[in-house]
Amino acid sequence: MIYFDNAATTLHKPPQVEQAIVEALHTAGNPGRGAHEPTLHAARVVLDTRLALAELFHAPDPSCIFFAANATMALNTVLNGVLHPGDHVITTVCEHNSVLRPLYRLRAQRVEVSFTGVDAAARLCYDQWEVLLRPTTRALVVTGASNVTGNGIDLARAADFAHRHGLALIVDAAQTAGAQPIDVQQLGIDALCFTGHKALLGPQGTGGAYVRPGLCVAPLLVGGSGVHSFDETHPLQMPTALEAGTLNVHGLAGLCAGVQWLLEQGVENLAAREAALARLFYEQVRTAPGVTVYGDMTMQPRAPIVALNIGQEDSARVADILWEDYGICVRAGAHCAPLMHKALGTVEQGVVRFSFSHFNTEQEVQRAAQAVCALARELLCE
């Protein structure tokens, strides 16, 4: 089996991740709910994970990191906690449904939403931001990189625009956290939402967000916190303010191990390897008969993704053949990014997405490229 579905979830993790999860299953109690060793150990696991993520993202303090079940939950927390009826938000057609659907629901609650378009190569049209700006604009919400094309967003430019106009910059980093170096302070990011099960190399069911000190985010959930139990309101101090209920300590132990492994290896080194693998694949398939590749492979930054179609063939059929005949795992369809497909003209066809990890090999890339070229010739002869 060759696994090129890393943009959905990384299948291959460092062995330390599994070891940390198993150890936590046997040793971790409930953090913040007692003074005995199992609960103190659980609290240390949670703190170590915050510290590792704060180091990875260059956050000023580990208390700026709150945990959630995934990037979707983190985005729901931040978007619902920052935007209010009468506010206006600018976002992009590049966004995943984890951004779009919360915004659509907020739109039904009188939050106005405007969308920035893309050009023919699916590059964001930054100049539209000034046109879309209103006196009531409260935030700019952007993805770090499209999960369809891999095209990245210039976050420094986004931050400059946002802060010149007093807006909060909210970033969906599902595709970039762990895959690209991110310095939230240098870039001026106000909220960075991440998931643990992709490039951060953690298990599913982990994620969260960095929230800049001073940015007020109302909690999405309230409930047990382990502290101030007689108060009728949830605690206001971060990160407890945005973490109601018992955390996924066992999952966070695995996430911590994955992030610590990334820090040891160097995100820059791993990102360079992934980019080289994606480029190698692209160069071998881009001229194959009938193959269309979407996005701009020359732009930086970008996620290690190559999205393509073969003629007018349904992307699902192509993905099925790649799996059944070649043992290659890819993702086909809409990728939960409907506005991007409208921009690309692939609403009916979808796209076939190859997403690469540093655990992949050049030999796997070569075999996948050969499979695409062979399949293109076969399908065009039908």
Our CA angle for 189, 216, 255, nearest 5°, is: 60
Q: CB neighbours of 283 closer than 8 A, spacing ≥ 6? A: none
Residue 307 corresponds to which amino acid?
Answer: A
Tokens 């791993």 correspond to 270
Q: Which DSSP helix (H) or strand (E) runs through 315?
A: helix 315-326
Residue of 64, 94, 329, 336 marked catalytic: 336
DSSP SS3 for 122: coil
Question: Is 193 known to be catalytic?
Answer: no
DSSP SS3 for 307: strand
List of long-range contacts for 158-161, beta carbons under 8 Å, 24+ apart = 159/187, 159/188, 159/189, 160/188, 161/126, 161/129, 161/130
Residues 308, 376: Cα–Cα separation, whole Å? 11
Across the strands, what pairs with 293? 308
Residue 17 corresponds to which amino acid?
Answer: V
Q: Give the DSSP letter string of 125-186.
A: -TTHHHHH--TTEEEEEEESB-TTT-BB--HHHHHHHHHHTT-EEEEE-TTTBTTB---HHH
Burial grade of 246 (CB within 10 A; 0-12, 13-18, 19 or more): middle
Active site residues: 336
